[in-house]
Chain A
Amino acid sequence: EAQVTQNPRYLITVTGKKLTVTCSQNMNHEYMSWYRQDPGLGLRQIYYSMNVEVTDKGDVPEGYKVSRKEKRNFPLILESPSPNQTSLYFCASRLFGTGSNQPQHFGDGTRLSIL
């Protein structure tokens, strides 16, 4: 089954404790992206990657890091989480280039609470 898998689904942690949210897709998609969803603000892109070893900042990259060492994986790293990063996070993937008219596939989300 084609899917985007995020882990964990829920996490409560404390300020300053480094955490990683993993994302993996099995569709051989070039393009992967991280979003955060906050009430009234819709989806805001944090980082995206157009292929292995190619990453770029989205609209709200501050406080986040990503890496793309393999095509299927795109982890989101919070080196020193703060309460304003409490949010619902989504990973998404799609084809790139000639596939840019294709929709994105989303994971089920990770709800992060930073105390």
Chain B
Amino acid sequence: AQSVAQPEDQVNVAEGNPLTVKCTYSVSGNPYLFWYVQYPNRGLQFLLKYITGDNLVKGSYGFEAEFNKSQTSFHLKKPSALVSDSALYFCAVRDISDQLIWGAGTKLIIKP
């Protein structure tokens, strides 16, 4: 079965430190990969996507993600975390049927 895994329910990072939120997937073909962020009482907002090309993609708010085809991973990263980055982060993969498969989400907590 096709799936997207975010292995950490929660990630804690000190402000100013680099952060990584992990995502791995099991989807056939060459899927499109997305990261979304959800702030409290808001809908999901698009952060970045990988379609093809350079394995390192840059997105909103200083976030970037690295696509690794051999490891079927698409980890979200940021060099220096801000308290305002604290939110719920979702990885999603669009398969050949054009449907999105979602990870369960990772709560990111940035401590001052």
Contact = CB atoms under 8 A, between A and B. Distances in A.
Interface of A: 4, 40-45, 48, 90, 92, 96, 100-101, 103-109
Interface string B92-103: 001000111011
Given A104-B44, A107-B43, 20 more contacts: A41-B104, A42-B103, A43-B102, A43-B105, A44-B102, A45-B99, A90-B44, A92-B43, A101-B32, A101-B51, A103-B36, A103-B46, A104-B46, A106-B36, A106-B44, A106-B45, A108-B41, A109-B41, A109-B42, A109-B43
Contacts of B43: 4, 90, 92, 106-109
A103 B99 CA distance: 12
Query: Which of A42, A45, A90, A96 has most B Cβ within 10 Å?
Result: A42
B53 to A, nearest CB: 12
Contacts of A42: 90, 102-105
Instruction: Please classify how large the interface on chain B is, using the bins under 10, 10 to 19, 20 to 34, 35 or more.
Output: 20 to 34
B49 interface: yes
Nearest to A48: B99
Contact of A104 (B9, B42, B100, B104): B100
Given A42-B90, A42-B103, A100-B32, A108 B42 contact: yes
30 contacts: A4-B43, A40-B9, A42-B102, A42-B103, A42-B105, A43-B102, A44-B102, A45-B99, A45-B100, A48-B99, A90-B44, A96-B98, A100-B94, A100-B98, A101-B49, A101-B51, A101-B94, A103-B36, A103-B46, A103-B49, A104-B44, A104-B100, A106-B36, A106-B44, A106-B45, A108-B41, A108-B42, A108-B43, A109-B41, A109-B43
